[in-house]
Amino acid sequence: MLSYLIENARIVDPVHDRVFDGSVGLAGKRIAGVYALGQALPSAEQRIDARGNLLLPGFIDIHAHTDNDVSTARKLLSQGVTTVLAGNCGFSPEDLPAFFAECGEGYPVNQAVQVGHDTLRNAVGLTDIFAPATEVQIEQMAALAREAFGQGAWGLSFGLEYDPGASAEEVRALARVAADAGRMVSIHTRCVAGREIEGLKEALDLALEIGARVQISHLVYMYTKELLPQALELIAAYKDRGLDIGVDSGVYTAWSTYAYSPSFSEEGLANNGVAYEDLIIASGPHAGEHGSAELVNWLRAHDDHAGIICDPGAPGDVEKALLPEGTMLSTDCGKAAPGEGHPQAAASYPLFFRRFVFDRPLLSLPEAARRTSYLPSRALGLLSKGTVEVGADADLVVIDPALYDSKADFPGVGSPDLAPTGVSYVFVGGRLAVSGDGVLPNVSAGGPLVCREA
């Protein structure tokens, strides 16, 4: 007998590029049956009438900073995210076995993790972000990266904005370790004014010269206005050579990062064409306030991990970043106290579907499902996810297309925590985790995803 039978849904199939009426049966953690309209249906312990709703594979966020934070994972789950890749931008847990053990005690979503370059630097005593690693330190980091892959890390992440002193030799040596292990290399590229495209080329050359599987992180946060077409052209030229290159991007031009970032120096803001007053403080007692030179510089000196939101973008940048074939959706979500942070953790997926599918037909439903589920599942090698097929993992989201919409907004404007509307059901590993009333309490249906082979 099935555990659940979801009946009368509009099923979105990203593999065969179709939408059809039917039902889906779940047994344990897997999809046990996909039934066309009019086909005889088996019995089930629980039946759900999804009439008027879309059924899609659970969304996979390929660039998240959940890192075992439950509140952030619950925000993602409320949108329909069932799997995340953590450990991005060079920051990762120091003790992977302990991290996996903690996640294994129960987590809202499935969580994979990478080993971070900045974490490796700290582990070998390299705490000066402007200093390059010595040859000995590179060898030590390489050994630690190999150990992390053996423990189950899915890839290696770089956040070169946060370690501007890292040499090209250091980056290449560590990327080669990941390539040799068959692991992905995700890259938050360098942000040196006037040399941004060189930073992108540095990342892409890892695919060309080393054979690494490269993932360019949060594209529209790195390249806006006149730089974005240049970046897209360069990425397309490398992909045309058959290289294994992935790209992800969010639905905002406004990004958030730590106060200590060089982007918030006087020079960095000038290069981005952003004034202090255009910034929004995202955390702490000043959350929701606009910046000033005095406040931002005080934070950089005394509270350098405070969050600050910056928007250097232009109208149309998000569409330019997300519409090219193969671009995946990501959130770049991170831990934040209630009422603080960026709304991307609670709003990205409904914004994407409203903006690109429901309000304007820029992408078909199957293509949107490819960007949110299927492509990230393949990039990560999670071949049992990202589809609605018999035998696939029962990670599913059921949404009402008329109601699926974001409610979260930036601090000082609204609440960045508000869950979206229109999410009827979310299943994680065959367990019901979200119903129309929101994320179910005391349900932790996810857990760690440990990479055991390339």
Contact 87, 129 (CB under 8 A): no
439 pLDDT higher than 70: yes
CATH number among 3.40.1550.10, 3.40.50.300, 3.40.50.620, 3.20.20.140, domain 59-256+311-380: 3.20.20.140
d(CA 451, CA 53): 34
Segment 197-211 mean pLDDT: 97
Q: Which residues are bridge partners to 398 per DSSP?
A: 55, 425
pLDDT of residue 454: 56
d(CA 273, CA 243): 34
pLDDT of residue 192: 77
Helices (H) and strands (E) in the chain, counts: 14, 22
193 pLDDT higher than 80: no
> Which of 34-38, 430-434, 437-441 has the highest mean predicted lDDT (pLDDT)?
430-434
d(CA 341, CA 257): 10
Q: What's at 215, amino acid-wise?
A: Q
Maximum Cα–Cα distance across the chain: 69
CA atoms within 13 A on the CB side of 234: 19
d(CA 351, CA 256): 18
User: Each residue of 154-166: pLDDT tens digit?
Assistant: 999 999 999 999 9
Residue 310, number of CB atoms within 10 A of its CB: 23
User: Each residue of 210-264: pLDDT tens digit?
Assistant: 999 999 999 999 999 999 999 999 999 999 999 999 999 999 999 999 999 888 9
Contact 231, 223 (CB under 8 A): yes
Segment 409-437 mean pLDDT: 97
- For domain 2-57+391-442, which architecture applies? Roll (2.30)
pLDDT of residue 271: 82
Phi–psi pair at 338, nearest 5 degrees: -55, 135
99 pLDDT higher than 70: yes
Segment 337-345 mean pLDDT: 97
Reported as type and span, the H/E element at residue 74 is helix 70-79
Segment 409-423 mean pLDDT: 97
- Determine the distance from the C-alpha atom of residue 306 to the mean position of all C-alpha atoms in its chain, rounded to a whole number: 21
d(CA 63, CA 85): 6
User: Among residues 105, 101, 58, 115, which one has the least CA distance to residue 384?
Assistant: 58
d(CA 198, CA 301): 30
Buried b (16+ CB within 10 A) or exposed e, 214-251: bbbbbbbbbbbeeebeebbeebeebbeeebbbbbbbbb
pTM of the model: 0.97
Cβ-Cβ contacts under 8 Å for 231 (sequence gap 6 or more)? 196, 197, 200, 219, 222, 223
Cβ-Cβ contacts under 8 Å for 54 (sequence gap 6 or more)? 9, 10, 11, 12, 19, 365, 398, 399, 400, 401
Contact 91, 346 (CB under 8 A): no
Residue with structure tokens 């255009």? 278
Which runs of E-coded beta strand occur in 90-147? 110-113, 115-116
User: Each residue of 290-337: pLDDT tens digit?
Assistant: 999 999 999 999 999 999 999 999 999 999 999 999 999 999 999 999
The domain locations on the chain are 2-57+391-442, 59-256+311-380, 257-310
d(CA 283, CA 275): 19
**Residue 274 to residues 128, 277, 309, 342, Cα–Cα distance (Å):** 27, 8, 11, 18
- Proportion of the chain above pLDDT 90, given as a percent: 94
